[in-house]
Chains A and B, each alone.
Chain A
Amino acid sequence: MTSRSNTSQITPIVLSGFQVTCFIASSFLPLYFWVFPRIAVDAAGFDAQWSVLLLLPVGMVIGWLHAETNRLFPDVAGADLLMAAFGKAVGWVVAATTLLLYIWFVSLSLTLFAYTLRMYFPNTPRLAMLLGMVVVASFGAYKGVETLARTASVVYPLTAIFVVFTFVFIIFQSPHHWFVHRVYHLSSVGKGIYMLIPLFMGFNITGMLSPFYTTAPRRWWYPLIAVMIGGVVMWIIFAAVQLLFGVRAMQDLGFPIQVILQLMRLRGWIIERFGIFVVIFATTFTTVFLSNHIWGLATLLTRVCRQPEQKNYLFLFPVAAAIATVAVLYPNEEVAFLHLRTFLVPSGWLLLVVMPLLAVILGYIRRGFKPEFPELTKAPSNLRGRSW
């Protein structure tokens, strides 16, 4: 795997385990982040909390499938990985389909975030927010995977710590205990999990990263750690919302996370303008998320168009423009929710579970359980994958 370079010499990029984990972890969650408690309660009713809790093991399975795919195909990424697993023709079709679905998914995430931001900045046009973020994210994507990984390794821990701290604080401030004490209907739990799976959309970017950490020790764990952190954060957030509002009231809150953050009043404390901190962290995180996916999708498109990967910067603009256009075209958040429920949920299952599962099975058939790649076992000593 190579990066663009000013000289003709091609430098191999090796990311550290921490960077890979943060890169993956910052590539999912934003789609549902502001609305998932409502979606969980709509789908599972009183069993919503169990659905959110069980998302963690389900996410672990998804993480394992992606880690295993990367283990079986460490020498290729993105479209090449799909073609190596599914065969050239089918792999190309799968890559093209993935590309379209992901552009839609990223646009939808951006749209929902813009609607959330509108609550803080009611006079700022949505178009300005969307375009501003797309431009900044495109610039990040242009700088390449190493820059993105470094940024993610700073932004993600900060955001995760901030979110966990905030919501744990809210839990301790809540005057009531509204946890449902038992499982009501197993089918509701299943329905909740089914509807919540798009939380992990974006996880497929793991498949784009494989060659960048081929030689890293414990590489198998990185996707799993990313999922575990995400799952725990989701559970803490859901618990905070449920403890404050209860199940029934949650159904009427379009953006429960945004409402709950309004209830934080940290007076005379180190953070005086809490709302501004929320906006800064959320915007930074979403921009990193957007950057990662613009880079990933541009690279995927490069290979779908059968161009060498080094030319991925030529495809940044079409991808960014497509994402911005779809995001701008959404007339209101209810249409976005409708598309999310109707189309993105089944797409999420297809992209996150069905496709990686098939890739793993085909990988076992094509390459055996323990494929060996002698040329990949050692990176140059100065670039060897760092453990963390």
Chain B
Amino acid sequence: MKQKLLRCLQLVGCTLLVLTLPGCWDYEKINERAQVIGIAVDPAAGSADRFRYTFQIPKFGSGDTSEPSQAGSGPSDAGRSPKFQNYTTEADGLIDALSKVQLENDKMFYLSDVEIILVPEKLGREAVRTLVAECMRIPALDKEAFFAVTTCPAYEMFQGGDGDKAPADEMEHWLGGTMRQVAYSPRVHLWQFWRDLRTPGIDAHTEVVHKVPNGYRIGGMMLYRFGVPKLQIPPSESLYFNMLTIGVNHVGVPIPSKPHSFILGNIATSGRHWTTLKGGQATLHARVEIKGKLDRSPGGREESLTAADLARLQNTASAYFQQQLADTMEQTQRIGSDPYGFGEWLVDDHPELEGLIRVKWPILYEKAKRDIRVRVKITQKGTLV
């Protein structure tokens, strides 16, 4: 009898447990959610402590033709509704802003799929720090969201696009992909930016979004010093920063040489760097290995290349890249901002120097010597003999 009772109880218990398995008692369909994919934060007019937040959400379902409610909807062609919608409000903080824009939307806002966070370069140092810390503190917010700086008000970037795809989606696809143009911009995520802001010996840097007549363009990098944007490095030079740090792939680079230039294609790079400190003089060491194939031989000639020719081309390319890397590094040294993390390496090597590096690294970095070596290897010379 007791056995039967226990069996019955077990059966009831198991049935109840099975009922909880689907976990859909509070389920909301994806098209009934307001999934925030982009956040733009601009300074509010007339107050240093308030910000203007713009949230971009995608609109699901082809049958949805309702017009966006308020400021900042995407462009709408006649008879075609945009696939995204922007909500803008002024508030003291991110969650505060979300609560306010909820007044305009009957769908619940979610932050778990944020793809990009945009701030204008004019946003103040404390504002950037506060925003980044707030974003890191919110457990639901995706820390893998890209963090980019804009050269004009950030909310304007969310107005662009042809309406078929949300700008935040496009930017994330651009930065998160393995396409060739990615080499011309760093790819900094929210958590990396937060880490660099607070780690001694490295200065934060991030990708730049520019406004162009028909929308926006991503390229180049913004260098920060003590949390303040200091220098914008153009896309062509960001390439050489990436070669040493995150590595680049699939890129083609023309190499000037006399009498004719040639092109290295499908470049893949790997780099490492370290620092030595002797008698108050820092030396920045960098080693980069570049592999690529010869897409165009000097003068576009079709005659076969000899081993001596290839060696000469490799040496020429190595010298060229070495010079470019040095020029890019010199630019960062001029403003005393170290996005590579040479100072951080020094702290790892000499933890006792942390205090010194925290205060004096910009000066040491500015005056540091460079020791850069690049080795180019042409792995393929093409199908022409």
Contacts and interface: CB of A to CB of B under 8 A. Distances in A.
A262 B143 contact: yes
Contact of B198 (A47, A180, A248): A248
A6 B6 CA distance: 13
Interface residues of A, number: 26
Interface string A142-180: 000000000000000000000000000000000110111
A252 B192 CA distance: 14
A252 B194 CA distance: 11
A178 B143 contact: no
A181 B195 contact: no
Contacts of B192: 175
Nearest to B143: A262
B139 A175 contact: no
A181 B349 contact: yes
Contact of A122 (B140, B194, B245): B140
B199 A249 contact: yes
Interface in B342-361: 344, 347-349, 351-352, 354
Contacts of A182: 349, 351
B143 A259 contact: yes
Interface in B12-28: 26
B199 A263 contact: no
A175 B199 contact: no
B131 to A, nearest CB: 16
A46 interface: yes
Contacts of B348: 46, 178-181
Given A246-B344, A262-B144, A265-B144, A175 B246 contact: yes
A263 B139 contact: no
B82 interface: no
B170 to A, nearest CB: 17
B319 to A, nearest CB: 27
A175 B245 contact: yes
Contacts of A6: 3
Given A45-B351, A178-B348, A246 B199 contact: yes
B198 A249 contact: yes
Contacts, number: 54
A252 B198 contact: yes
A178 B142 CA distance: 23
Nearest to A176: B341
Contacts of B191: 244-245, 259, 263
A123 interface: yes
B43 interface: no
B351 to A, nearest CB: 4
Contacts of A259: 143, 191
Contacts of B245: 175
B200 interface: yes
Contacts of B352: 184
A249 B142 contact: no
A175 B189 CA distance: 12
Interface string A240-278: 000011101100100000110011010000000000000
29 contacts: A6-B3, A45-B351, A46-B347, A46-B351, A46-B354, A119-B139, A119-B140, A122-B140, A123-B26, A175-B246, A176-B341, A180-B348, A180-B349, A180-B351, A181-B348, A184-B351, A184-B352, A244-B191, A245-B191, A246-B195, A246-B199, A248-B199, A248-B200, A249-B195, A249-B199, A252-B198, A259-B191, A263-B143, A265-B144
Given A46-B351, A259-B143, 6 more contacts: A46-B347, A178-B348, A180-B348, A180-B351, A246-B195, A249-B195
| In the complex, the 4 A-B pairs of residues with the closest C-beta atoms, listed nearest first | A46-B351, A119-B139, A184-B351, A249-B195
